[in-house]
Amino acid sequence: MTRARSLPSKLAAHPARALVVAFAAVVLAGAVLLALPIASEERAATGFVTALFTSTSAVCVTGLAVVDTSTYWSGFGEGVILALIQVGGFGIMTMASLLALLVSGRLRLRMQLTAQAETKSLGIGDVRRVLLGVAGTTLIVELAVGAILALRFRYGYGESIGDSAYLGYFHAVSAFNNAGFGLHADSITRYASDAWVMLPIATAVILGGIGFPVLLELLRHRNRRRTTGRRNWTLHSKLTLITTAVLLVTGTLLTCLLEWTNTDTLGPHSTADKLLNSFFHSAMSRTAGFNAVDVGAMQSSTLLMTCVLMFIGGGSAGTAGGIKVTTFAVLLAAIIAEVRGEPNSAILGRRLAPHVLRQALTVALLGIGLVIGSTLLLLTLMEERFEAVLFEVVSAFGTVGLSTGITGDVPTAGQLLLIGLMFVGRLGPITLVSALALRERTRRYELPEERPVIG
């Protein structure tokens, strides 16, 4: 007779499930704290849906907000949001990195057979390396960017020492974790011509978005270059860095092209500031949520281009959302191979395993279906132009935080829909790919082959 397995045992056997449960618990705890009267400036209790929306947005490092962060929340409330961003970003990078190592077989596993079931334990050395690596990287980047911003706020804008330090650190944490929460009602549009504010924030966003495995490899190869003079990059790192660079440049050029003469966005700026803001918008679309120009005033073509960038997102095991740049690159390689009539998909001198293509296709198609279905549902809940609703949905799914300005007008049912989108968009791709990889098994027979008509 078998006994029922305990909850910890069930979660240990399914790490992806443990990730979902852990983040749901943090979201609920954050919502309870934000609902307290002390969390608002008016010292009045906040509606639970509003608190839940803000908590989900912070933990899932999105940045969408139904109330003005700079005026609605008290110092306590802002502190809770900052803590939720830090916990969410650190937890996502840590758990995603551990899951990535687990499914790739690079973690040492100890198989422990018990009377109830088989469980897997992570090697202590691997866990310690990931935890210390993520913590060290996070601390270094946030302190460095926070110091630069604090000095700029202090000596460029006359802020007090305390305020400049708080502003600098808050924006640094929000940027590195790709959250997009700011302490100004206009995000950072007041700094649209200040490269000393824009570039550090963009740098932190990019570093947080490419993922911890890539950052760790960059540091490791930097040290190896000093000793051996050689560098052997993994395919994941090469794909992430190359695709990220291509998308950043493409987004910058298209934003310039589409918004150059728009008097409500880039039009009034100098040429240098137009280039700066185009690059900043391209970086924020992947996936941070800060804006230096009015997103709601952008051309429909720019909004569509931004939707594509938001849907693709950033690197795996990082703080960015979306389907990930590696998924996009793998699908692109499959298309190129099919057009050329090649039997196998290859990229950068490496052949891609069939199960990798299936996983990429599954993540992308499920993401497209979720975005289409949610857009249809939100359109029935509110009367807004199609591109604004689509933008809001993709921003939530990609955990970006950019908005055309309709977030505060979304009805309660729509807010619950966006809450679900942020949660699924943040953890869905991670848990889905992990579950698919961990369930992979070898079939001991082959079915008869037949080819249906395609196209």
pLDDT at 343: 84
Structural contact between residues 129 and 216, judged by C-beta atoms closer than 8 angstroms? no
Q: Give the residue, 413 or 93, on which the prediction is more confident.
A: 413
* Tokens matching residue 235: 């395919």
pLDDT at 341: 86
Report pLDDT digits (tens) over 165-215: 999 999 999 999 999 898 988 889 999 999 999 999 999 999 988 887 788
pLDDT at 79: 94
Structural contact between residues 337 and 345, judged by C-beta atoms closer than 8 angstroms? yes
Structural contact between residues 13 and 100, judged by C-beta atoms closer than 8 angstroms? no
pLDDT at 120: 30
Reply yes or no on whether the pLDDT at 98 is more than 80: no
Reply yes or no on whether the pLDDT at 110 is more than 50: no
Reply yes or no on whether the pLDDT at 2 is more than 60: no
Phi, psi for 104 (deg, rounded to 5): -85, -5
Checking DSSP bridges between strand 346-347 and strand 350-351, what pairing results, if any? antiparallel
**Closest Cα to residue 396, out of 274, 377, 325?**
377
Structural contact between residues 289 and 180, judged by C-beta atoms closer than 8 angstroms? yes
pLDDT at 121: 32
pLDDT at 4: 52
Report pLDDT digits (tens) over 68-93: 988 899 999 999 999 999 888 887 66
pLDDT at 96: 59
Instruction: Work out the mean pLDDT of the chain and round it to a whole number.
Output: 84
Q: Give the residue, 362 or 281, on which the prediction is more confident.
A: 281
Task: Give pTM, 2 decimals.
Answer: 0.86
Report pLDDT digits (tens) over 324-377: 999 999 999 999 998 988 888 888 888 888 888 888 888 899 899 999 999 999
Residue 240: asked if its preceding bond is cis (omega within 30°), the reply is no
DSSP assignment letter at 229: S
18-22, 148-152, 205-209: lowest mean pLDDT where?
18-22
Reply yes or no on whether the pLDDT at 107 is more than 50: no
Alpha helices in 211-314, H assignment, sequence order = 212-227, 235-259, 271-284, 300-312
Give strand ranges (E) for 88-210. 109-113, 118-122
pLDDT at 109: 39
